[in-house]
């Protein structure tokens, strides 16, 4: 039986409820399909779950990053420090606002941004430090918070992959001036559509994001535009669907954590065989994706595929090596840990409805490859 990397049946158990929600929202007397009372209730639920002053639902995690940066008045002449290894929006969001993304190298094992590299890159032009949690490991937010505070710059926490994770008792998204979640279908709290959320302890920042997501309107008077804004509004059907699924999120996260911890235990002995698992830990883990570092990455991928096991290569090139972001680099710049990760990282399945037997089958295959090859 083939085990895909991302399954096609993520929402099969919720099909009847989703169809019922479509019917209820579609026939509701108010005929409100965006930014209605369901979105407001969803925002309140997320806000209260993490202890934020505000939570603002947006059209996507990517647009949420852009809205927060804009609310922080990031623009031409500013610099935003981002990881050199990660998803394109990390660099695209500041660039689209006219700012310069500045790329910091990563920790070679955890693949999250290296705080020491960040500290070296802060200049008088630095406006925001924007770390991102990666795969199953949260960034070193206590140290990044210390750096941002000491340098007098804002801290924006890209928690797109980490909703539900905690570090030193603080939820992912709540270490910075603001944090961002993503609800695209494969995330830990994914849904069958696009969506994101901004969480913040700063009510003023939340209000600015709320205005910017809806063309600069304040929600009190239509067609009165206080700022030049965007269209990043949230869908009422998806808001109701996420409210329905929110109580079961902890259970799914626990299952992901159990699978991840099992993998890490099984793979602990493989470091000498060229396969390195993430560091063992419970605190600061999110288990969105479980990614190995493998010296013969492509061979392992082919080996797993031949045995019906899907895998995925995230980010085959560091961000500063991508054509879109090359103009923001200088000759001689180097990001050795990011370059190494791009050559070695391989993610294996970790979705919560994998059975114990399937998880064991995946781990067995990785171990056989490492020990027999």
Residue that is written with structure tokens 């890209």 in the block: 158
Torsion angles phi and psi, residue 200, rounded to 5: -160, 150
Distance CA 101, CA 74 (A): 11
Residues 6 or more apart in contact with residue 28 via CB below 8 angstroms:
none
Contact 154, 148 (CB under 8 A): yes
Q: Which residues pair with 291 in a beta bridge?
A: 347
Count of CB atoms situated within 10 Å of the CB of 60: 20
Task: Report CA-CA distances (Å) from 330 to 107, 113, 130, 214.
Answer: 21, 20, 20, 37
Tokens of 9: 């049946």
Positions annotated as catalytic residues are 187
Question: Any idea of the CA torsion for 257, 260, 262, 267, to the nearest 10 degrees?
Answer: -160
């Amino acid at each position: 039986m083939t085990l895909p990397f991302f399954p096609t049946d993520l929402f099969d158990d919720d099909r009847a409820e989703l169809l019922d929600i479509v019917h209820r929202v579609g026939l509701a007397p108010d005929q409100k399909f965006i930014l209605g009372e369901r979105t407001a209730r969803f925002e309140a639920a997320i806000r209260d779950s993490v202890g934020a002053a505000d939570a603002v639902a947006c059209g996507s995690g990517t647009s949420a990053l852009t809205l927060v940066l804009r609310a922080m008045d990031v623009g031409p002449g500013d610099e935003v420090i981002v990881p050199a290894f990660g998803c394109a929006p990390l660099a695209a969001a500041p660039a689209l606002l006219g700012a310069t993304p500045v790329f910091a190298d990563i920790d070679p094992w955890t693949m999250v941004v290296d705080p020491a590299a960040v500290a070296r890159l802060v200049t008088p032009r630095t406006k925001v430090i924007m770390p991102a949690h990666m795969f199953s490991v949260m960034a070193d937010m206590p140290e990044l918070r210390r750096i941002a505070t000491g340098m007098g710059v804002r801290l924006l926490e890209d928690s797109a992959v980490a909703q539900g994770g905690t570090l030193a008792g603080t939820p992912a998204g709540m270490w910075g001036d603001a944090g961002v979640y993503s609800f695209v279908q494969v995330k830990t709290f994914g849904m069958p559509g696009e969506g994101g959320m901004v969480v913040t302890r700063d009510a003023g920042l939340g209000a600015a994001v709320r205005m910017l997501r809806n063309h600069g309107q304040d929600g009190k008077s239509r067609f009165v535009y206080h700022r030049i804004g965007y269209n990043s509004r949230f869908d009422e059907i998806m808001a109701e669907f996420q409210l329905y699924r929110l109580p079961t999120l902890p259970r799914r996260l626990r299952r992901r954590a159990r699978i991840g911890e099992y993998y890490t235990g099984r793979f602990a002995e493989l470091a000498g065989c060229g396969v390195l698992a993430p560091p063992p830990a419970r605190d600061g883990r999110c288990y969105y994706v479980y990614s190995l570092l493998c010296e013969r990455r492509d061979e392992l991928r082919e080996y797993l595929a031949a045995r019906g096991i899907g895998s995925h290569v995230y980010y085959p090139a560091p961000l500063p090596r991508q054509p879109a972001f090359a103009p923001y680099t200088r000759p001689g710049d180097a990001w050795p840990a990011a370059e190494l990760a791009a050559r070695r990282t391989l993610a294996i399945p970790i979705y919560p409805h994998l059975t114990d037997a399937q998880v064991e089958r995946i781990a067995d295959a990785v171990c056989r490859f490492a020990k027999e090859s």
